[in-house]
Structure 1
Amino acid sequence: MGAEVQARMFTRADRRVFRKKVRLCVDAMKQMLDRGDFRDAVEKPDPLLGMEIEFNLVAGDMLPAMSNLAVLDAIDDDAVFQTELGQFNVEMNVEPGPLTGDNTFELEEKLRSSLAIADARIHEHDAEMVMIGMLPTLQLEHLDREWITANPRYELLNEQIFAARGEDIELDVEGVALSGGTVEVLRADTNSVVPEAACTSMQLHLRVSPEEFAPHWNAAQCLAGPQVALAANSPFLAGKALWHESRIPIFEQATDTRTLELKNQGVRPRVWFGERWIHSVLDLFEENSRYFPALLPDVSDTDPLEVLAAGGIPELKELQMHNGTVYRWNRPVYDCSDGKPHLRIENRVLPAGPTVLDIMANAAFYYGTVRALVNADRPLWSQMSFHAAEENLHIGAKHGLDAMLYWPGLGWVGADELILRRLLPLADEGLADFGLSSAAREKYLGVIEGRCLNRQTGAAWQRGRVVAGESAGLDRTAALAEMMRAYIENMRSGNPVHLWD
């Protein structure tokens, strides 16, 4: 959800002070890196599978249920479930579990149990929690400002983005034609950042030492295209068939503070893949402080350099606040726990869903493949341009497993073939290096293999089901509602999406 802020008006002076404090925080981090304050983070840290999952709330008529506060009150578990930007969203924080032995089986069962308990408590509110990258029944009227969750952070974020932009946000996505259909296009203006709330994701966290941060981040960037092609689950918005993973372009546009003129000048977008391979985690934090003006310039009274001089570990609050408003697909995270600083990579590429088993498989594939790429004798990013990795992300998001991606040593190759031939063996190798059991590797990577062999992602299933509904005489609205009912039934069954009829 991000750090909390109090409702207030920011002044021009606040922005100047905040900019200075962010720079002080970057200087403090450099000192901490130089003097070894992260020394407790081992070169290859104990592997933990940590994730956050965002859910849509759906009413009985399959339209969004604008009731997240009532739902959270009914669930009554603030440590696990929290608000998100839209009134039709909630977020679940999954307690990290070891990525060793058979421990992922226990984590999977805990996740199922938490969801079952929450689900049982919210039915009286005519709401169900759905794991899906983008709710297909969302219409443009559900994306107005009135549907922002009543939370000062979200209201301030909305105000600051529109103040920076000075005009409505434009959504403009040209889709991929359904079987037998024509290309559909979504073009609309919006007066809020609620379209961002339409983009529900699963975020994966990996804690790394400073020395290992750059290769892990570079590896995650290389993997982003295959990741999204494999896990695509967001094909519809506002009644339109768009990309297989429409979350990617909608999120990029929904928080864009740039006018057309600023885009033409080459100003960086706040939802950002980046522009280069890195050599240090400082590269990312320095870019964030150099390129992006503050959106939430909330200033603390703490001087991070004074804290360091006194022998303490600063929280770097301004750096954390600013970093939370730059939406990199692989975001660097600085945090403190038990008085000790650490660094994480937050992978933000994946959509939520479709099932618990699918998200566990997606997580295993990510962690294992990144580990193997880092362990390789020759870094993959030394053989691949950064632009090619970025292009892969958008091609994979648009076409899913139908995408043709660039990969060193293979050239342009189908996403399914790339994953089956090259990446699955790497994922198995990396997970084995982490210490995950052969039974767990076989279970989760078997799901990935089945998805590629059947060529059925969540997006492919949704698209096929809507085509079938329309062929049977349903209009688009009815076909989407019928598809959602079937989606929820399959989601509850627990069978992975490649086995859905």
Structure 2
Amino acid sequence: MGEEVSQQEFTRADRTRHREKVRRNLDVFARMLRESRFEAADPMTGLEVELNLIDNAGDPALRNDEVLSAIADPDFQTELGQFNLEINVPPRRLADRGLTRFEEGLRESLNRAEAKAAELDTRLVMVGILPTLAEGHMGPDALSNNPRYHLLSDQILAARGEDIVIDISGVERLVTSADSIVPEAACTSTQLHIQVSPEDFAPYWNASQAIAGIQLAVGANSAFLLGRELWRETRIPLFEQATDTRSEELKVQGVRPRVWFGERWATSIFDLFEENVRYFPALLPVTEDDDPLAELEAGRTPSLSELRLHNGTIYRWNRPVYDVVDDRPHLRVENRVLAAGPTVVDTMANAAFYFGLTRALAEDERPLWSRMSFSAAEENFHAAAKLGIDAQVYWPGVGQVEATELVLRRLLPLAREGLTAWGVDPQESDRYLGIIEQRCLTGVTGASWYVDRVRRSQDQGATRADALRGVLLDYAERMQTNDPVHTWD
């Protein structure tokens, strides 16, 4: 969720000083890009997974502090809600069985964590939105104890000037409000990272934007929120609304939202950081005393902490990342589109599809984004979030097409080519991409499986609440088998 922030109040002078420092950071960043000071010779990939906590009855367990203490593993960290955790999987290269090693490492870590959580009568679940969340879990008391989260909540509510309203129309409709950003905690995701050079950033980011809707179609896993069946990937509208700092009047004026798909293809990573500074006021105007230009001219790597903190409060679905490891700067594309789960192998299938397809498109001699409008990519994104595996999308040279047909006929072969370019063994590619293929052939994703099971349970006389809880407990058991979701029935 980002760096620790301790300061709880900000003056007008704090905000002015912070704005000036962010702009100075931006100038230094531009100079670093010109001078090619970035580590990218042997790029790494990364993976983060956000988890939900439930008790033995399937209800949310607001116990992340206790569970983290019991797990005692620095790879596990707190998240926004007390019913959330996050695991940061160590980065690795995809060559030499990298995808399989990701899977093995994630499974081992989750198995150990699950054993510790069980001692507290708590279970870990990978699902985009916990289906048993209720209105009573949406108050400020459900925020994690980290001061950053309470401060961020206060700042978003102050900027908005009124309670947050959630209004989502899907299969059913949900209208509710909240006096904190806890609804954001309902959204748990898988975050995929690709390390890139400055010159490769724009092609990889553009490719990530272009396929975001396809990722949602084949990976949807959050159909229910507060008892309502909504979109197949309800995380998307929920996250867009839960951190919206705009009043209704500002929306009408065209002020940009902080959860943002964007508005144009990028030509450089600088485009996105410059947009951050130009369009968005700081939510957390914490300013350090260092001088980034002096650091650079002294031969050290500037942290650019203000620029990075500001970037962390602008929630692009594909986020630009500047980071420093062992005094070496690097750049990443952080893909934040997908829900967590249903299983580890499903998660790795989603990752393989993303890593392979983005590389193939980024290295294509005729860029996809030269033939596709940015607005078409955004329309695909929301259509797939709403309909999931049943969505129709637009694709250059094809027109409107079923997402499953597009994946089977065109995109899976491209993803295989991309994985080969990463150095992934063909058998490994076949295993993970075969899961995506079978989802398309069977029409089964985490979301569609869950909806079907809940409807069946209700047809047999269960209430919606009992059906959601019972199916969640079944889901949690099946998650432990690591059998891909398309095989569950």
TM-score by length of 2: 0.99
Q: CA deviation at 1:88?
A: 0.2
Tell me, in whole angstroms, the C-alpha distance in 2 between the residues paired with 1:128 and 1:353. Answer: 14
Counterpart amino acid of residue 362 in structure 2: V
Q: 1:253 aligns to what?
A: 241
Match of 2:95 among 76, 95, 100: 100
Q: CA deviation at 1:311?
A: 2.3
SS at structure 2 position matched to 1:52: strand
Q: CA deviation at 1:12?
A: 1.1
Contact 1:416 1:453 in 2 (8 A): yes
Q: CA deviation at 1:108?
A: 1.3
Contact 1:225 1:394 in 2 (8 A): yes
Contact 2:48 2:88 in 1 (8 A): yes
Match of 2:157 among 149, 153, 162: 162
Contact 2:99 2:352 in 1 (8 A): no
Q: 2:471 aligns to what?
A: 483
How does 1:9-48 map onto structure 2 within 5 Å? Answer: 9-38=9-38, 40-42=39-41, 45-46=42-43, 48=44
Q: 2:49 aligns to what?
A: 53
Counterpart amino acid of residue 129 in structure 2: M
Tell me, in whole angstroms, the C-alpha distance in 2 between the residues paired with 1:415 and 1:286. Answer: 34
Tell me, in whole angstroms, the C-alpha distance in 2 between the residues paired with 1:455 and 1:111. Answer: 26
Q: Deviations over 1:115-150 (max 9, x none)?
A: 111111111222100000000010121111111001
Q: 1:467 aligns to what?
A: 455
Contact 2:18 2:306 in 1 (8 A): yes
Contact 1:52 1:93 in 2 (8 A): yes
Tell me, in whole angstroms, the C-alpha distance in 1 between the residues paired with 2:393 and 2:124. Answer: 34
Pair 1:292-2:292 in alignment: no
Q: 1:144 aligns to what?
A: 139
Structure 1 residue runs of 4 or more that deviate by more than 6 Å after TM superposition: none
How does 1:78-227 map onto structure 2 within 5 Å? Answer: 78=74, 80-176=75-171, 184-227=172-215
Tell me, in whole angstroms, the C-alpha distance in 1 between the residues paired with 2:273 and 2:73. Answer: 33
Tell me, in whole angstroms, the C-alpha distance in 1 between the residues paired with 2:211 and 2:93. Answer: 22
Match of 1:384 among 363, 367, 372: 372
Q: CA deviation at 1:444?
A: 0.3
Tell me, in whole angstroms, the C-alpha distance in 2 between the residues paired with 1:125 and 1:297. Answer: 38
Tell me, in whole angstroms, the C-alpha distance in 2 between the residues paired with 1:451 and 1:361. Answer: 11
Number of aligned positions between the proteins: 489
Pair 1:397-2:385 in alignment: yes
Pair 1:330-2:325 in alignment: no
Q: CA deviation at 1:7?
A: 4.0
Q: 2:292 aligns to what?
A: 304
Contact 1:69 1:83 in 2 (8 A): yes
SS at structure 2 position matched to 1:125: coil
Tell me, in whole angstroms, the C-alpha distance in 2 between the residues paired with 1:311 and 1:100. Answer: 33
Contact 1:331 1:345 in 2 (8 A): yes
Match of 1:446 among 431, 434, 439: 434
Pair 1:357-2:345 in alignment: yes
Comparing 93-102 and 156-165, the one that deviates more: 93-102
Q: 1:181 aligns to what?
A: none
Contact 2:444 2:486 in 1 (8 A): yes
TM-score by length of 1: 0.97
Q: CA deviation at 1:6?
A: 0.7
SS at structure 2 position matched to 1:129: strand
SS at structure 1 position matched to 2:334: strand
Q: 1:76 aligns to what?
A: 72
Q: Deviations over 1:147-166 (max 9, x none)?
A: 10011100100000001000
SS at structure 1 position matched to 2:322: strand
Counterpart amino acid of residue 169 in structure 1: I
Tell me, in whole angstroms, the C-alpha distance in 2 between the residues paired with 1:90 and 1:107. Answer: 19
Q: CA deviation at 1:8?
A: 2.1
Q: CA deviation at 1:377?
A: 1.8
Q: CA deviation at 1:387?
A: 0.4
Tell me, in whole angstroms, the C-alpha distance in 2 between the residues paired with 1:322 and 1:379. Answer: 30
Contact 2:408 2:437 in 1 (8 A): yes
Q: Deviations over 1:48-102 (max 9, x none)?
A: 3311100000011111000000000000112x10000000000000011220132
SS at structure 1 position matched to 2:194: strand
Pair 1:281-2:269 in alignment: yes
Q: 1:179 aligns to what?
A: none
Counterpart amino acid of residue 205 in structure 1: H
Q: 1:180 aligns to what?
A: none
Q: 2:218 aligns to what?
A: 230
- Structure 1 gaps, min length 5: 177-183
Comparing 117-126 and 167-176, the one that deviates more: 117-126
Contact 1:143 1:194 in 2 (8 A): yes
Counterpart amino acid of residue 50 in structure 2: E
SS at structure 1 position matched to 2:119: helix
Counterpart amino acid of residue 30 in structure 1: A
* RMSD, aligned α-carbons: 0.9
Counterpart amino acid of residue 72 in structure 1: L
Contact 1:65 1:126 in 2 (8 A): no
Tell me, in whole angstroms, the C-alpha distance in 2 between the residues paired with 1:361 and 1:132. Answer: 15
Q: 1:406 aligns to what?
A: 394
SS at structure 1 position matched to 2:21: helix
Contact 2:45 2:195 in 1 (8 A): no
Q: CA deviation at 1:104?
A: 2.3
Q: CA deviation at 1:9?
A: 0.9
